[in-house]
Amino acid sequence: MHSPTRSRTRSPSASAVALWSGALSAVLLAFVAAEWGPLITLDRAVAEGMHDSAVRSPALTQANRILSDWVWDPWAMRVLVAVGVVWLWRHGERLLAVWAASVSVLGSAVQQVLKAAVGRERPQWPDPVDSAHFSAFPSGHAMTAAVTCGLLLWLLSRSGAGRRVRAVVLLVGLVSVVGVGLSRLYLGVHWASDVLGGWLLGTCLVAVAILTYERTAARGAAGRDGRDGKGAERRGGYVA
């Protein structure tokens, strides 16, 4: 694993990501809650175009349903995090394992609280091609994918994974995050702003998790170094 010192070099970029994604999430949430006209118009235009295509293309609709309900399902994503958590635990990275698991659980809690608080209706169609439960904002699929892929990329970076491995995972992660969002739009169960909100909130949560973990790990390392130094001084004084 990378040392806390090396990890701290990434904090400025994580800080910027957390700041911008958090600010954009707050603005989007305010627009959605206020039912801002231009946003509602854009959402309806995107939704109607996607739905028309889904109705005309049953084979493509079925492919999107399989991807959305199985490949990129939130529970499938959480299983990936669970595998990473077990691997970390078995390799002695207990704090990091608990941290990753906690971020995944927190992401699920945040999206459910926001869904209940905003209470946004999903798109309604006379000829639906799929259905979904709970309120619309934010998209749970999009947010869970962003949290999962962000966490896995961070954990791979900390574990010293090779550049090719990280590049492949980054590509797969981007395809998954973008793909699951588009699939929810294509199936007519979300507005475009729901998906965007899920992406922004998931990104913000991972960035904040990275920052807080690095600071916690750095304080722990500093405390251990201080104790080791004092112990060395005591031993040195005793021998003299």
> What is the tens place of the pLDDT at every residue in 102-130?
999 999 999 999 999 999 999 999 999 99
Q: Which residue has the tokens 């945040």?
A: 110
Average pLDDT over every residue of 80-103: 95
Q: Which long-range contacts (CB under 8 A, 24 or more apart) does 46-53 make?
A: 46/185, 46/191, 46/192, 47/123, 47/185, 47/188, 47/191, 47/192, 50/185, 50/186, 50/188, 51/123, 51/125, 51/129, 51/188, 53/186
Q: How many CA atoms are closer than 13 Å to the CA of 117, on its beta-carbon side?
A: 12
The per-residue pLDDT for 228 is 62
Q: Is the pLDDT of residue 52 over 80?
A: yes
Q: Is the pLDDT of residue 65 over 60?
A: yes
